[in-house]
Structure 1
Amino acid sequence: MLSTTPKGLEIRPRQLDFDLPNPLPRHWHSGDAFKTHTFNAMSVLFPDGERFFIDSVRLFRQQIDDPLLQEQIRGFIGQEGHHSREHEEYSQRLRELGYDVDYLERGLKRRLGFVKKHLPAKLQLAATCSVEHLTAIMADAVLKNPRWLDGADPTMAKLWRWHALEETEHKAVAFDVYQAVCGSKWLRRRAMLQSTLFFTIDTFKGLVHLLKRDGLLWNWRVWRDGLTWLWGKDGIYRQLVGVYLDFYSGNFHPWQHDNLHLVEQYRLEFEPQPKPPERLAHA
């Protein structure tokens, strides 16, 4: 039996004010340039990337008859819209530190413009499914393994946990829309290969630029420790290889990686909790 999105899953945007540090600490993640800029390089991609995700799902919105999936599409669009705005502010903080964010965004803007103009709508949606899987497995790792953010500035760590929570909640929306309007396994696999290549190139380009501006590009210790953190024996990326490859399976569904318990756990951090009833004073 194929996995499906859990019944009753609510996907609701949380419009939070993170009041990002101003100025942003240059190495906000435990004083480590490589760790900080790994996250920064991904963040720079989000404003334009998430607007593309929204647009690719909207192209097929009218073809969806399932009222539950329609409701989830609304939640997906709301969440991704908030993510885009928060990461725009994040990018502005990076600009103020002297990093050339416009340079890092330029190539992505150009490529997404080409894709939207020249490539079929179903391929655009397949690309969204692919990148949503990449972000979902990294989000799962952030929620499951707090050591990803050990030592980080508390506000920045909270921003990334919020993003990870909502990426997890809506991780199957684009995929379920894709299955409803197309479902081609070949197209999905092709899109993942392309998305993986470009995501790797874009994040590496960002990491190189940010380290170069810090005068650390040729510091071998920074690269040694950073690559160990990512790909060493207990590396955080190394642990994602298996779940990444699951996407190529013919029977794949994002919720076959069932981490709903993490959603419930982390919702407590970002949603107001009901106050306990006051005890009546004894007469």
Structure 2
Amino acid sequence: MFIGPSPPHTHLLNNRRNNHSPRNATVSSALPDLLLAAISLLLLSSSPKPPNRFSFPLTPRRRSTAMSRRSPPPPQRFANPQSLSDWLQPRLPPDSFAAWGVKPGTKNVHNLWIELSDGETSITDSTPPLRTVNVVTVRVMGRDGSILVEGRQELSDGSVRERNRPLSEKMKPDESPDQAVIRAVKEELGSIFDAGDDVVERVKIVPGSYSRRVEEKSSLSYPGLPACYVLHSVDAIVEGLPEEDFCTDENEYEEARAEGKAVTVKRHHWKWVSPDSIRA
């Protein structure tokens, strides 16, 4: 029996077997690990995501402009005519303010205070202040195409104020032009009708005649106080008016006149004129 080193081919074969055995074992042992990793990734991807507490909108929220808009200044309020007089005195030229209620055709502080209290007038806190009034102007049409105008007014202090303009009236707060027209006819022309007459039935506003314009000029009633007039104009027909010139009485600010403080209109003098003669 031969005892000695193995033949060369036998040693090579053993080496090949030894080299392949560990490699196959490594691959076999790695497969379960890869499978577990794949399953773990699958479970992670399918699980619900927790809410993001720090998420932000895609577009930034715009700042509300409601707070940034400046609201109009509140209207000036005065407890009594004296407080209004004290407020006006340093804001108006002394000579002009002293003429209120003294110069013929002018009104006084009591008149302006009543206008402010009734909401017919607003006034700005400036030097000089600006008085703003909404006025309805009614072009009352006659049968022959003429227009009714107020020639002059007799005031409670005995003075006379020239007018030569159509029927007009200061508007009340939240009053529409149509409502102001009816009230103007009642207050300034109503005394010409019988007490039981329904003035509303007598007034017909011409459709499509409404217009609006703004005028700024010095006030004749309150010297030195600039005025802004917002004029609402309509044409109207008033049934039952005299065809010749006539007069009407008005009880404007009756309580204030009884106290002898405010200058008020006692009588209106009316006349019919051609449209071309009306002052713009």
TM-score range, shorter chain: under 0.3
- Give the structure with the higher percent helix: 1
Whichever of the two has the greater Rg, that structure is: 2
Greater relative contact order: 1 or 2 (C-alpha under 8 angstroms, separation 6 or more)? 1
Q: Please give the TM-score of this superposition, normalised by the length of structure 2.
A: 0.27
Q: Please give the TM-score of this superposition, normalised by the length of structure 1.
A: 0.27
- Give the structure with the higher percent strand: 2
